[in-house]
Amino acid sequence: MTNKNLVVIGTHWGDEGKGKIVDLLTESVTAVVRFQGGHNAGHTLVVEGKKTVLHLIPSGILHPNVRCFIGNGVVLSIPDLLKEIQELENAGVAVRDRMMISLDCPIIMPYHVALDQSVEQRRGNQKIGTTGRGIGPAYEDKVGRRGIRLRDLLDKEQLVFKLEELLHHHNFMLEQYYGAPPVTLQACLAASYDFLAELTPMMGDVLSALAGFRKTGASVLFEGAQGALLDIDHGTYPFVTSSNTTAGAISSGCGVGPRYLDYILGITKAYTTRVGEGPFPTELKDDVGRRLAEKGHEFGATTGRPRRCGWLDVHALQRVVEMNSLTGLCITKLDVLDGLKEIALCTDYEVDAAGDTTPVYEMMPGWETPTESVKSFSELPENARAYLARIEALCGIPIDIISTGPDRSETIIKRTLI
């Protein structure tokens, strides 16, 4: 089928394995688009044993002819973007001639990073546990209608005028409220304007380019960052990121209307993890939790922080299916559950008078035969298939892809999506 637009969304608190699946599915598309978030994301791709970690660049980049887009919904750290491009180029991946970055992307400036860190420090034990990359403050300036966008680099005089105003505002907060050093105009220009010549060939009208693909029947893949439970509106507020991470963000984040999305795939880890602070009802602080962390190598791809681990929260997933209108699921890291005697699925929450949440579990038998690297569904142990079938039944949508290892090839495709 032609002209099928595919969406990949994380269903929990991020790090579900979106990067691996986007890379895999890119084989069948013309373009891959990021539409929200920033370099708080860390997407890991493993191809024939070689690992690549991407933060801003769409996870389709390893496929030589695919076009990659950064939509207006993404907050852009220019030095980090260029560093990532350079690293890919050093590894022999051509990037610049097939990347387009929206002129409307808000730019992350040094004062955003300083504010992110100052706000977190002041919050003390109430901190969010952000990635400290200026994401929240950059989105605040965007909705405050005072942010600097990529297109602002095209007029230096106006840019300096706007930056001086912003520095006045933010340095007041940094110095007077947070007791932090001020940020200079020089530092802001060095993180933005100074790269104008390098950026210009990649700057463009993403909305028009994507409309062009639609008109020619080319398929496009939209790559979500973070996960639905980190969504600014639907997530575990205030322990969330500052963007909408759900499928609804695609239209606002790159200009492709909701009618043009054909298949929305939720990426769900076979258990649940979270990095940073905030509620996590199914968190396991025991040996099983430690075992999941160890076997799943659960350390953040962006900050290196250990990820908290727990049982799969299907109760939360049911809401996520609804809010994203998910078509199907991809279950990743099934292999990490290999060898467990019993596996629990959280199907409900009990909330007491004090507001504390206790998960309600359904117990499933584990499996002895490893699923690691298995590439066909029929080779999965019966209990693993029963586990997957139970998730399908509870969510009311099919599991179309199963991932059994980090490598692109360690995947079971039950249904071809495009």
Residues that bind ligand GDP (CB under 6 A): 10, 14-20, 42-44, 46, 297, 301, 332-333, 335-336, 403-406
Which CB atom, from 234 or from 408, has the smaller least distance to ligand GDP?
408
- Min dist CB 42 to Mg ion, Å, is 4
**What sign does the dihedral 184-143-274-15 (CA atoms) show?**
negative
Spatial separation of the C-alpha atoms in residues 30 and 51, rounded to whole Å: 23
Nearest residue (CB) to ligand GDP, 42 versus 136: 42
CB environment 359-392: b (16+ within 10 A), e (fewer): bebeebebbeeebeebeeeeebbebbeebbebbb
From the list 12, 15, 112, 231, the catalytic residue is 15
Q: x/- binding map, residues 3-42, to Mg ion, per CB under 5 A?
A: ------------x--------------------------x
Residue 56 engages Mg ion in binding (rule: CB under 5 A): no
Q: Is 43 annotated as catalytic?
A: yes
CA dist., res. 190 & res. 404, Å (int): 44
Q: How far is CA 69 from the centre of its chain?
A: 15
Residue in 148, 150, 120 with CA at minimum distance from that of residue 136: 120
- 180-219 footprint of Mg ion as x/- string (CB under 5 A): ----------------------------------------
Q: How far is the CB of 364 from ligand IMO (least distance, A)?
A: 26
- Residue number, 15 or 152, with CB nearest to ligand GDP: 15
Q: How far is the CB of 44 from Mg ion (least distance, A)?
A: 7
Q: Which does 136 bind (CB under 5 to 8 A by kind): ligand GDP, ligand IMO, Mg ion, none?
A: ligand IMO
Catalytic: 141?
Answer: no
Out of 101, 267, 301, 374, point to the residue binding Mg ion (CB under 5 A).
301
209 and 215 in contact (C-beta within 8 Å)?
Answer: no
Torsion angle, alpha carbons of 137, 138, 140, 143, to 10: 180
Least distance CB 402 / ligand GDP (angstroms): 8
Q: List, in order, residues 6 or more apart from 7 with CB less than 8 Å away.
A: 221, 222, 224, 247, 250, 261, 263, 264, 265
Contacts with ligand IMO by CB under 6 A lie at 10, 13-15, 40-43, 128-131, 133, 135-136, 225-227, 230, 241-242, 275-276, 301
3-state secondary structure of 415: coil
**Residue 133 binding partner per list ligand GDP, Mg ion, ligand IMO, none, with a CB distance cut-off of 5 to 8 Å that depends on partner kind:** ligand IMO
Q: Which of 208, 254, 266 is nearest to 396 (CA)?
A: 266
Which CB, 282 or 332, lies closer to ligand GDP?
332
Contact residues for 74 (Cβ-Cβ < 8 A; gap 6+):
34, 35, 36, 37, 38, 56, 102, 105, 253
CB of 29 to ligand GDP, least distance (A): 17
Least distance (Å) from ligand GDP to the CB of residue 168?
37
Q: How many residues bind Mg ion (CB under 5 A)?
A: 3
From 12, 23, 39, 43, active-site residue: 43
Using DSSP's 3-state secondary structure scheme, residue 118 falls into: helix
CA separation for the pair 415, 392 (Å, rounded): 14
Annotated catalytic sites, by residue?
15, 43
